[in-house]
Amino acid sequence: MNRTILIEPSQKEIFISRLKKLNNKANGFGLPEIKVLSTREVIYERKFKIEGRNHDIIHSSLVPVKPGIEAKEPIILQEISLEFPIVKLGDWQVVGKLDAHESGNLAYALTDGADDKYPSGQPIYPE
């Protein structure tokens, strides 16, 4: 399975160090390593959207800067493409990650299988 992640340039050394430790553990269990396929510098820009009846809610997001466009306040990130195995234990496999937050749960799907994802709007309850 392949995925691309974004990190701040200052995090790259720590990321590579942790990846090496994780791969050492994988080797100890006879599992394939996580491979870095490519790394490149990308430029993003923070965009703001003001909402709410009193304009008191501010949503911000990072948006990639299109080629040829100059960002007013560029944010330089490292884009890292990874290849990693789907680890299975018997009939079990990791298909995602669930993070609990005050405003609700965030679900991250790690596989592309239709049976591994919940329909949108359906609540997720950890067992």
Q: Give the residue from 54, 62, 71 showing the smallest Cα distance to 7.
A: 62
Tens of pLDDT along the chain (127 residues) come to: 898 999 999 999 999 999 999 999 989 988 899 999 999 999 999 999 998 888 889 999 999 999 899 988 899 999 999 998 877 777 776 666 667 766 666 666 666 666 555 555 555 555 5
Domain ranges for the chain, please list them: 2-85, 87-127
Q: Contact, 62 vs 13, CB < 8 A?
A: no
Q: What is the sign, positive or negative, of the torsion defined by CA atoms of 13, 16, 94, 110?
A: positive
Q: Is 100 helix (H, G, I), strand (E, B) or coil?
A: strand
CA distances from 93 to 55, 74, 82, 85, 114 (A): 45, 39, 19, 11, 14
Res 29: pLDDT: 84
Instruction: Give residue for tokens 């669930």.
Output: 98
Q: Contact, 77 vs 63, CB < 8 A?
A: no
Res 103: pLDDT: 66
Largest CA distance in the chain: 57
Res 86: pLDDT: 78
Q: Taking the complete model, does pTM exceed 0.75, yes or no?
A: no
